[in-house]
Amino acid sequence: MEIITISSSKIKISLTYEDLEKYSLSCNDLSYDNTETRRAFWSILDDAKHTSGFDAAKSRVFIQVFSSPAGGCEMFVSRILTEGEDSVVCVKDPLAGICSSVYSFEGLLSLIRACRVLCDLGYSHDSAAFYKDGAYYLLLSCPENTGERDTYHDISYSDVLCEFGTLVRDEMAPYYINEHCTCFCSSPATKKLASLSGGRK
């Protein structure tokens, strides 16, 4: 377990697959209503207190959990000063159960044109646009178990998007984008950005 102090009220806890087994915690079935999950959380927070001095027992706690393809997870733990009924508020991985693809674009115009084409092809799943260090990113999500292909009338979304940008071939890209980049257009980004284009070119 690795602990990084972000501020006096927030820490980041990185757990390996072995750590999750130690605490009997599963990121795939995470619910604070479950007694075992609550016990695991407080065991982790207690160990974090001894390691970093971060004391979560005296205030409400907000926990964000992001699973890792390697089998572990990252937990962002924040102390909340506002009052509430629950002492712990836990938010599961926003990417869990989602097949996500990330495309990078060198300019905003290329991103807008790509979104216009996606809308023309009928893309209707969640999407969000991000920015960092002069590069633009489009995160496309498709819920698992839908049986849908990444095509529309046998036209591949990926083939079309690669005319405007580049597919980021890194399974950790969606997690990196969510954590380190600035989201400037929330879902449905494709629809919102497409409206800025006068037409497909």
pLDDT tens, residue by residue, 94-112:
444 445 788 999 999 999 9
* Mean local confidence (pLDDT), 70-95: 62
Which residue, 119, 135, 144, is CA-closest to 176? 135
Helix locations, the chain, DSSP H = 17-22, 35-52, 108-120, 157-161, 173-180, 189-194
Question: Is the Cβ–Cβ distance between 157 and 86 less than 8 Å?
Answer: no
Question: Which pLDDT score, from 0 to 100, does residue 49 have?
Answer: 87
* Mean local confidence (pLDDT), 168-194: 83
* Residue 128 pLDDT greater than 90, yes or no: no
Q: Of 31-45, 69-83, 121-135, 161-175, give the lowest mean pLDDT range.
A: 69-83
* Residue 90 pLDDT greater than 70, yes or no: no
Cα separation, 188 vs 168, whole angstroms: 20
* Mean local confidence (pLDDT), 19-26: 82
- Please give the CATH number for the structural domain made up of 98-194: 3.30.70.1950
* Residue 86 pLDDT greater than 60, yes or no: no
* CA 59 from centre of chain: 26
* Mean local confidence (pLDDT), 183-194: 89
* Residue 1 pLDDT greater than 80, yes or no: yes
Residues counted in the chain: 201
